Chains A and B, each alone.
Chain A
C-alpha cells in the first residue's frame, strides 16, 4: 500500500482521494507545520493549493499572489523534509488557480489535479507519478553495489568522511532536488548512461573544504565545482572498475559537468532506468543517481 500524505487539502478533497485510492493507498492528513517530524516518510504527497480564501478585504490579485507564495514555500519545505527520497508531490487546485500551479513545478511539484476531483483521474495520476522510469521493477544489486562501495571509499579517501548508505530507490523522474550536482556521462560496450552526485550547497561546501583541508568559509564556488567534478569522476572510475571485473565491460567517461539550482533535471534520452542511492555524511543527506542502460 502506498503511504500518502495530504497537506493543506480540503477535507472534501481528502475524502475523494481516500475513496479513489482505497485499494492502493492510505491517505493521512498531515499538518504542514510538523511535516519534518512526521514518520514514516511518505511515498506520495498531495498538497492543497494556497488554502487562502478571498475575504472581503482581499482582491483577487492579492489572493493569487499569497496562495502562490504560501504553496511554493511549503513545497520547498516538503522537499527539504523528504531530502533525496523520490517522493512525488501532486498539487490539488481549484480551476481558477490552475494556471498559477504551473509555477510550482520549479519548487518540486510533480503533477496537478484540478477540482472537481474525479476518482478515475486521481487513480491515473497516481499510477503515472508512481511508475519508475523505464518500467524497471527491481533493483539490480550487482549494478548498485559498485557505486555504493565506490562512494563510501572515495569520500573517506579524499574528504576523510565516513558516509553511510541510507537507502536505494528506483526513480520516477530525472529531477534532482539537491542544489548542486556533478554529472558525468558514461559509455562503453553495450552500456550508456550517466552518474550524478547531488548535494545541498552546505554539505557540498563542507566536503570540498575537507578535500582541500581548509576552512569552509575560505572555499570559493569555483573550488567547490572543481572538487565535485573530481569526486564524481573518481567515484565513477572506481565503480566502473568494479563493474568491469564483474561483467567484463569497458567504460569511457565524458568530462564532468556541474549543474546548479534546486530541482534541476538531468535527462537521459530514451527513458533509461534511474536509481538513486541516498547517503548521509555528517548527518546530512546526499545522493548518487545512476542512470545506466545496457
Chain B
C-alpha cells in the first residue's frame, strides 16, 4: 500500500494457472490484482485503470496483439508510458530479453519463476 491507497497491478497471461499463482503473490503483498487473458483485454484495462495502475506484468505469447506489441503501444502512449512493465514469459533467450528491454520493459522474468523472486521484483518496482 502507498499512502493508504491499495496499489493496483495488472497481470496478463492466457494461462489461468499462471494468473492464479501471480494473483496469490500480488495479494500477499497487499496489492489489488487485475487480470487479463489477451492483448485486447489488456489494452482495455490499461485504458480503464491507468490513473491508478502501479505495475503491469505481461506475458509475451498471448492471443491477439502479443505482449511485445502491447508493451510498445503502452510505452508510446503518453498517459501510460510511465507505468512500469515486467515481462513474465517462457521465452528466455537473450535475443528476446534484449528486444523487450529495448522496447521499454523495466524487467524480465523467465518461466518457471520462483514466487519469492517474483515478489521481490514486484516490490522493487513498486518502490520506485
Q: How far is the CB of A288 from chain B (nearest CB, A)?
A: 15
- B15 touching A158 by the CB < 8 A rule? no
- Asked whether A253 and B91 contact (CB < 8 A) given A211-B17, A226-B17, A230-B17, the answer is yes
- A233 touching B90 by the CB < 8 A rule? yes
- Among the 9-residue stretches A5-13, A53-61, A237-245, the one with 4 or more Cβ atoms under 8 Å from chain B is A237-245
Query: B90 touches which one: A208, A223, A245, A253 (CB < 8 A)?
Result: A253
Interface residues of B in 95-124 (CB under 8 A from A): 95-96, 110-112
Query: A251 touches which one: B15, B63, B91, B111 (CB < 8 A)?
Result: B91
Query: B110 touches which one: A226, A241, A252 (CB < 8 A)?
Result: A241
Query: B92 touches which one: A208, A211, A230, A237 (CB < 8 A)?
Result: A237
Least CB separation from A236: chain B residue: B90
Least CB separation from A222: chain B residue: B16
Cross-chain pair count, CB within 8 angstroms: 59
Q: How far is the CB of A281 from chain B (nearest CB, A)?
A: 16
Query: A234 touches which one: B62, B63, B93, B112 (CB < 8 A)?
Result: B112
- A237 touching B95 by the CB < 8 A rule? no
A115 at the interface (CB under 8 A from B): no
Report the bound CA distance from A12 to B8 in whole Å. Answer: 76
Interface residues of A in 221-262 (CB under 8 A from B): 223, 226-227, 229-230, 233-234, 236-238, 240-241, 244-245, 250-253, 255
Report the bound CA distance from A188 to B109 in whole Å. Answer: 21
Report the bound CA distance from A253 to B17 in whole Å. Answer: 19
**Binary interface encoding of chain B residues 8-47 relative to chain A, with 1 for a CB under 8 A from any of its CBs, else 0:** 0000001111101000000000000000000000000000
Interface residues of A in 57-75 (CB under 8 A from B): none
- B93 touching A250 by the CB < 8 A rule? yes
Report the bound CA distance from A229 to B92 in whole Å. Answer: 18
Interface majority SS (helix, strand, loop, mixed), chain A: helix
- B93 touching A240 by the CB < 8 A rule? yes
- B61 touching A234 by the CB < 8 A rule? no
A107 at the interface (CB under 8 A from B): no
Q: How far is the CB of A246 from chain B (nearest CB, A)?
A: 11
Interface majority SS (helix, strand, loop, mixed), chain B: loop
- B93 touching A233 by the CB < 8 A rule? no
A22 at the interface (CB under 8 A from B): no
Contacts of B95 in A (CB 8 A): 244, 250
- B94 touching A227 by the CB < 8 A rule? no
Contacts of B110 in A (CB 8 A): 237, 241
Report the bound CA distance from A157 to B91 in whole Å. Answer: 16
Q: How far is the CB of B118 from chain A (nearest CB, A)?
A: 13
Q: How far is the CB of A153 from chain B (nearest CB, A)?
A: 8
- B112 touching A157 by the CB < 8 A rule? yes
B89 at the interface (CB under 8 A from A): yes
Report the bound CA distance from A229 to B91 in whole Å. Answer: 15
- B61 touching A241 by the CB < 8 A rule? no
Q: How far is the CB of A188 from chain B (nearest CB, A)?
A: 10
A170 at the interface (CB under 8 A from B): no
Q: How far is the CB of A282 from chain B (nearest CB, A)?
A: 19
- A237 touching B111 by the CB < 8 A rule? yes
Query: A255 touches which one: B14, B17, B18, B91 (CB < 8 A)?
Result: B14
Q: How far is the CB of A225 from chain B (nearest CB, A)?
A: 10
A154 at the interface (CB under 8 A from B): yes
Q: How far is the CB of B21 from chain A (nearest CB, A)?
A: 9
Report the bound CA distance from A241 to B97 in whole Å. Answer: 11
9 sampled A-B residue pairs with Cβ under 8 A: A230-B15, A230-B17, A233-B111, A234-B111, A236-B90, A237-B111, A238-B90, A250-B95, A251-B91
* Further contacts, 13 of them, CB under 8 A, given A212-B17, A237-B92, A240-B93: A157-B112, A212-B20, A227-B15, A230-B15, A237-B90, A237-B91, A238-B112, A240-B91, A241-B93, A244-B94, A250-B93, A253-B91, A255-B63
